[in-house]
Amino acid sequence: MKDTSMTKNIKISANNIDVYYGEKHAIKDVSVQIEDKTVTAFIGPSGCGKSTFLRCINRMNDTIDIARVTGHIAIDGEDIYDPRVDPVQLRAKVGMVFQKPNPFPKSIYDNVAYGPKIHGLSRNKAELDEIVEKSLRRGALWEEVKDRLHEPGTGLSGGQQQRLCIARAVATEPEVLLMDEPCSALDPIATAQVEELIDELRQSFSVVIVTHSMQQAARVSQKTAFFHLGNMVEYDETDKIFTNPEDPRTESYISGRIG
Amino acid sequence: MSLTLPLLFIAALSVGGFFIARSRAQSAAGGDIRKLASLPRQHGLNTALSTAIPALFAILAWLFAARLLSYRDAAPIWVPLAIMLIATLGFILSIMRVSVTFRARTAAEGWIRSLLIGASVIAILTTVGIVFSMLFESINFFSQYRWQDFFFSTNWAPNFRGNSDLGILPLLWGTLYISVIALIFAVPIGLFAAVYLSEYASRRTRSVFKPLIEILAGIPTIVYGLFALVTVGPFLRDYFAQPTGFGDSASSVMTAGLVMGIMLIPFVSSLSDDIINAVPQSLRDGSLGLGSTHSETIRQVVLPAALPGIVGAILLAASRAIGETMIVVLGAGAAARLDLNPFEAMTTVTVKIVSQLTGDTDFASPETLVAFALGLTLFVITLALNVLALYIVRRYREQYE
């Protein structure tokens, strides 16, 4: 296998990934090296496979019966599709934020405390309180909810719910944070808040974000990969992709001619 | 004169009207049906409904009036004639209205709406009728028997020569005891089956298992009763009650409760399965994405989210258990008794309603009238449970829509 610790600090190394949904060949031979403490954006038209590929990184595709993944993905050099790897443990290490805010029908506190409780990250109530406060602060939500931690999480606004989901993902102290179009259900103000948050999260995690919006990719990411019809067409520095793409398909997509 | 002839007349005129109106509409359009405000078949439908619906309502009105006026002979000759006249009038008027500009679709929809309203009114009126028939007889009963004795006496000893003890408490106790045992069996089994079917079973297993479990719901309760009488009752007596010294009766609360529990399993499992399936997939994804296992996801996210609906399902099953009669007669016997021993024969409200009304019934003595008071009490209890169930289910729905 390829050496993953080349020049830069590679966190996730994916090589020759193919994904099939039943008969459909959704991802065709994709290889990508994702750096640590970096925001990497996946862009491309609907149905191009960017979300599918994202879901390979924490093996969420395992929960779909008809999905089949081949190829090799390593995080810190460890093969995550190795039969000895427990996908449940993996998902504790690779957090995920979904397209639609999906707070559990529990209180705000219990939403954030859910992961730490399951993984036994706290020894007592005081430690758990501390984790919840810290995570909500990192989710830029603490000031807004500190007086109503025991009210239901479903009662928050859409943008607050999504930040709650981010805080919930952060609370389990993952190493990688996957975000599947986290702003597509939010208004511009909430989007700006979440984007600001993503930039801060970069200090601690490797963030991979799937987005429909090219402006968003340009604003938040350092590296960008362009997907088209199941292929990864181009992967480079974000600035280069948006100013001087090499592939004509990337050029037509970012200039609005396809997609 | 019977009502058969008018009914045939209405049917024939209505079907004929459909074709006549349709062809009239077509000829009015002169070959180009785009000129018509409504399609030819809508004109046909309007005529068919204008003929049939008022006449059918007239028949219903006559039947109702005859009942109110205690009219017992066959209808006088003018009644069928008037009904046929109404049908003919509707037929002629609607045929005359066929024209290029007439909006027959709107008119036909109006008729259909009146039909739908009629159907729902009949359902409501029936319920009201049931309540009133029970209420009048119950009032009658309480004028002959003290209500304090009915509700608070612990003795049930009807005596057809008069001077009976008609306390509801032993019967209510039997009803609740048997229902609770039935639910203790049905709820865990049904719930676990639902969790398996909705969360673990493959699509194919589910398509086989779910109908199989639902077959249980299709078995007539008298067949369950026979099962209780010849199999479960003797089995429980020989292997549990006698060795442990609880008694030697084959009819027991336990027998009826167990068999009733089996009957309720499909209620609980089928409804809970639907409710668990209605929990959004995004919640499961969110939980799995945080690194929780499948079973943690079910216990901590899916079941709490589905809980109100599951409670609703259990309450519906409970009201079913309270109203059950046949299994109790054959499984638990007919002896009214206040006792804690689950291997003792007891009986329920429903069984006593049947036994008070079979045989000598003159509907004048408190011994027979008590059946209506029992029925009304039962009705109020199950109604309260149903209202509670509906309320909980509705609150649950608001959460995700």
CA distance A161 to A154: 7
Give the pLDDT confidence of A201-249 residue by residue, as tens digits.
898 889 999 998 888 999 999 999 999 999 999 999 999 999 999 999 9
User: For residue A55, what pLDDT band results from cuts at 50, 70 and 90?
Assistant: very high
Return the axis-axis angle of helices B203-218 and B253-278, rounded to nearest 10°: 140
> Bridge-partner residues for B44, per DSSP?
none
Q: How near does any CA of chain A get to the CA of B292, in Å?
A: 6
Q: How near does any CA of chain A get to the CA of B284, in Å?
A: 9
Interface with A, mutate which of B200, B283, B290 (most A CBs under 10 A)? B290
CA distance A86 to A68: 17
First CA to last CA across chain A, in angstroms? 35
Give the pLDDT confidence of B363-373 residue by residue, as tens digits.
778 888 899 99
A14 interfacial to chain B (CB closer than 8 Å): no
CB contact (8 A) between residue B291 and residue A90? yes
Q: Supply the ipTM of this predicted assembly.
A: 0.87
pLDDT at res. B361: 63
Identify all chain A residues contacting B291, using CB atoms and an 8 Å cutoff. Answer: 88-93, 115, 118-119, 172
The yes-or-no verdict on residue A3 having pLDDT over 50 is no
CB contact (8 A) between residue B399 and residue A154? yes
Determine the 3-state secondary structure of B38 from DSSP.
coil
Q: Nearest chain A residue to B299 by CA: give it.
A: A118
Whether A168 contacts A127, CB under 8 Å: no
Please report the sign of the dihedral spanned by the C-alpha atoms of residue A75, residue A79, residue A83, residue A85: negative
Separation in Å, CA B240 to CA B177, B259, B341, B342: 19, 16, 12, 11
Please report the sign of the dihedral spanned by the C-alpha atoms of residue B137, residue B138, residue B142, residue B146: positive
In one letter, which amino acid is A217?
A
Backbone dihedral region of A59: left (phi > 0), alpha (psi from -120 to 50 degrees) or beta? left
**Which residue of A60, A100, A104 is in closest CB contact with B301?**
A104
Tokens encoding A56: 């390979």
CA distance B248 to B352: 23
CA distance A68 to A46: 21
pLDDT at res. B396: 63
User: For residue B304, what pLDDT band results from cuts at 50, 70 and 90?
Assistant: confident
Residues in Cβ contact with B100 at an 8 Å cutoff, skipping those fewer than 6 apart: B28, B29, B35, B36, B37
pLDDT at res. A5: 44
CA distance B188 to B294: 19
Give the pLDDT confidence of B97-130 residue by residue, as tens digits.
888 888 889 999 999 999 999 899 988 999 898 8
CB contact (8 A) between residue A60 and residue B292? no
Q: Set out the domains of chain A in order of their start, with CATH numbers.
A: 10-102+174-254 (3.40.50.300)
Identify all chain A residues contacting B283, using CB atoms and an 8 Å cutoff. Answer: 102, 104-105
Identify all chain B residues contacting A118, using CB atoms and an 8 Å cutoff. Answer: 290-292, 296, 300
CB contact (8 A) between residue B288 and residue A93? no
Give the pLDDT confidence of B234-276 residue by residue, as tens digits.
999 988 888 888 888 888 999 999 999 999 999 899 999 999 9
Instruction: Fill in the DSSP letter of residue B161.
Output: T
Residues B202-229, mean pLDDT to the nearest whole number: 90
CA distance B334 to B38: 65
User: For residue A6, what pLDDT band results from cuts at 50, 70 and 90?
Assistant: very low
CA distance B189 to A119: 30
Q: Nearest chain B residue to A101 by CA: give it.
A: B282
* B contact set with A (CB within 8 A): 202-203, 280, 282-293, 296, 300-301, 304-305, 399
Tokens encoding B227: 């099962």
DSSP string, chain A: ---S-SSS-EEEEEEEEEEEETTEEEEEEEEEEEETT-EEEEE-STTSSHHHHHHHHTTGGGGSTTEEEEEEEEETTEETTSTTS-HHHHHHHEEEE-SS----SSBHHHHHHHHHHHHT--SSHHHHHHHHHHHHHHTT-HHHHTT-TTSBGGGS-HHHHHHHHHHHHHHT--SEEEEESTTTTS-HHHHHHHHHHHHHHTTTSEEEEE-S-HHHHHHH-SEEEEEETTEEEEEEEHHHHHHS-SSHHHHHHHTTS--
Separation in Å, CA B202 to CA A23, B25, B69, B269, B346: 19, 56, 63, 17, 44
The phi, psi pair for A85, rounded to 5°, reads: -80, 130
pLDDT at res. B389: 80
Give the pLDDT confidence of A95-125 residue by residue, as tens digits.
999 999 999 988 999 999 999 999 998 889 9
Mean pLDDT of chain B: 88
CB contact (8 A) between residue B288 and residue A60? yes
CB contact (8 A) between residue A104 and residue B296? no
Residues in Cβ contact with B198 at an 8 Å cutoff, skipping those fewer than 6 apart: B206, B273, B276, B277
A152 interfacial to chain B (CB closer than 8 Å): no
Whether A41 contacts A33, CB under 8 Å: no
pLDDT at res. A109: 94
CA distance B37 to A30: 60
Residues B389-401, mean pLDDT to the nearest whole number: 66
Buried b (16+ CB within 10 A) or exposed e, B144-179: ebeeeebeebeebebeeeeebebbbbbbbbbbbbbb
Separation in Å, CA A222 to CA A193, B44, B83: 18, 70, 84
Identify all chain A residues contacting B307, using CB atoms and an 8 Å cutoff. Answer: none
Interface with B, mutate which of A51, A75, A90, A114 (most B CBs under 10 A)? A114
pLDDT at res. B318: 92
Return the axis-axis angle of helices B281-289 and A158-171, rounded to nearest 10°: 30
Q: Kindly report the number of other CB atoms within 10 A of residue B212's CB atom.
A: 9
Q: How near does any CA of chain A get to the CA of B303, in Å?
A: 11
- What is the percentage of chain A residues whose pLDDT exceeds 90? 62
CB contact (8 A) between residue A92 and residue B296? no
> Minimum mean pLDDT among A150-159, B61-70, B125-134, B185-194: which range?
B61-70
Q: Nearest chain A residue to B396 by CA: give it.
A: A105
Which of A186, A134, A178, A181 is CA-nearest to residue A161? A186
pLDDT at res. B10: 93
CA distance A113 to B303: 18
Instruction: Fill in the DSSP letter of residue B74.
Output: P
User: For residue A33, what pLDDT band results from cuts at 50, 70 and 90?
Assistant: very high
Q: Set out the domains of chain B in order of their start, with CATH numbers.
A: 4-136 (no CATH), 156-400 (1.10.3720.10)
> Bridge-partner residues for A179, per DSSP?
A97, A209
User: For residue B76, what pLDDT band results from cuts at 50, 70 and 90?
Assistant: confident
A231 interfacial to chain B (CB closer than 8 Å): no
The yes-or-no verdict on residue B70 having pLDDT over 80 is no
